[in-house]
Amino acid sequence: MPGDSLRAFIHALPKVELHVHLVGSAGVDAVLALARRHPSAGVPTDAVELREFFTFRDFPHFLKVYWAVQSMLTDRHDIESLVLGLTDSLRSQNVRYAEVTVTPYNHMVDGMPADELLAGLASGRAEAARRGVDLAWCFDIPGEKGLAAGRETLAFALTERPDGLVSFGLGGPEVSVPRAQFAPFFAAALEAGLHSVPHAGETSGPATVWSAVRDLSAERIGHGTSSADDPALLAHLAEHRIPLEVCPTSNLRTQQVATIAGHPVGRMLSAGVIVTLNTDDPPMFDATLEGEYLAVAEAFGLGAENLRQLARNAVDASFLPAAAKSYLLTEIIATPTPASPA
């Protein structure tokens, strides 16, 4: 299929994004405006320098940059403008629904009052719905901050329980941050009806993914890249229908993989694992959801029906109510396949 018709098909598919961080979705112009208001954060105020600033040596370097951007967010207006910037980007790509990761503990450590965060999320989500994009929230533990962060994130999630909160996550570095220590917080979140979606296997080996599955009862895995190194794990994920939130361009930009063609997503698909495609931190990685579909199609020779299946996977793996899932699935199934070249 020629590139242009594949691109048009990818655009026409109603899409769902399951792994995107709110801070990491700050658009370049928004970051530049914040940087001008907060010169001490050390974030460039010039677009060319910002692109350079968003060139990551490795995952720890990426996290430092991410935290610098986060430190500039101070009130509900900042949060709402991030939500609406993300909304407009999603809408322009025909993304209908997204589960967005928010890290309340980090915002509060950086001095944002809880009420400001909650007000910005609520007003942003309401306006997103008016613009045709449904948003849900995942509140995640910043793993590097340890048990206190786990305790506080759980308490915040269960006490505030804002509209749209569907899941409980775990992010940050994986090396030297065992998943199992957070087991009691995940058990309590699950008990309260939230879903378990920890990051695992992004920056460490398959043992971390096993731990996320066994100790945190993961219902989806954030990234799960290194699962591909363990055939028994791939078989387990396939058999138990635990989807992976794969973020190919993110892994490329943080130097976890050298090329998209070298990304293990091909092996995940061959093993029958439920793969979903996601952007993680789109402007920081110069990524779009449409771009992820196209890059994977080109690297692995996928056609329209494979891409349709990936779009369906994201709906199935989402925490949308059944009626909303079937509405989106019907539209995905009805999206016309582009004509093959003569």
Residues that bind Zn ion (CB under 5 A): 280
Smaller CB separation from ligand HPA, 90 or 102: 102
Gap between the Cα atoms of 200 and 186, Å rounded? 14
Specify the residue, 93 or 251, whose C-beta has the smaller distance to Zn ion. Answer: 251
Give the side-chain half-sphere CA count within 13 A for 206.
Answer: 13
Residue from 230, 322, 176 nearest 213 by CA? 230
Residue 17 touches ligand HPA, criterion: CB under 6 A: no
Mask of contacts with ligand HPA, 224-253, x by CB under 6 A? --------------------------x---
User: Binder to ligand HPA among 116, 134, 219, 280 (CB under 6 A)?
Assistant: 280
Shortest Cβ 153–ligand HPA spacing (Å): 14
Contact 273, 74 (CB under 8 A): no
Q: Which residue has the tokens 């430092």?
A: 64
- Please identify the residue of the shown chain whose CB is closest to the bound Zn ion: 280
Q: Does 285 bind ligand HPA (CB under 6 A)?
A: no
Residue 66 lies near ligand HPA (rule: CB under 6 A): yes
Residue 21 binds ligand HPA (CB under 6 A): yes
User: With binding defined as CB under 6 A, does residue 24 bind ligand HPA?
Assistant: yes
**Helices (H), ranges, 136-225:** 146-160, 183-191, 206-216
Q: Which is nearer to ligand HPA, 281 or 290 (CB)?
A: 281
Name the residue nearer to Zn ion (CB basis): 162 or 173. Answer: 173
Length of the chain, please?
342
The answer to whether residue 49 is catalytic is no
Residue 41 near residue 23, CB atoms below 8 Å: no
Choosing from 17, 202, 245, 290, the catalytic residue is: 202
Q: Which residue is nearest to ligand HPA (CB)?
A: 171
Least distance in angstroms from the C-beta of 140 to ligand HPA: 8
Q: What does 312 interact with, of ligand HPA, Zn ion, none (CB < 5 to 8 A by kind)?
A: none
* Eight-class DSSP state of 340: P
CA–CA separation, 239 and 91 (whole Å): 34
Question: With respect to Zn ion, which residue has the nearer C-beta, 80 or 280?
Answer: 280
Full strand arrangement of the beta sheet holding 165-171: 15-21, 95-102, 134-142, 165-171, 195-200, 221-223, 244-246, 275-277
CA distance 97 to 14: 9
Coil, helix or strand for 196? strand
Smaller CB distance to ligand HPA: residue 21 or 325? 21
Give which of 256, 250, 208, 216 is closest to 233, Cα–Cα: 208
Tokens (6 digits) for 36: 């001008």
66 binds, among Zn ion, ligand HPA, none (CB under 5 to 8 A by kind): ligand HPA
Binds ligand HPA (CB under 6 A): choice among 17, 78, 281, 292: 281
The Cα 206–Cα 228 span in angstroms is 8
Do 164 and 134 touch, CB atoms closer than 8 A?
no
202, interface contact from Zn ion, ligand HPA, none, CB < 5-8 Å by kind: ligand HPA
- Indicate whether 199 belongs to the interface with ligand HPA (CB under 6 A): yes
Size of the site for ligand HPA (CB under 6 A): 10
**Position 171 contacts ligand HPA (CB under 6 A):** yes
| Catalytic residue list | 202
- Report the interface residues with ligand HPA, using CB under 6 A: 21, 24, 66, 171-172, 199, 202, 250, 280-281
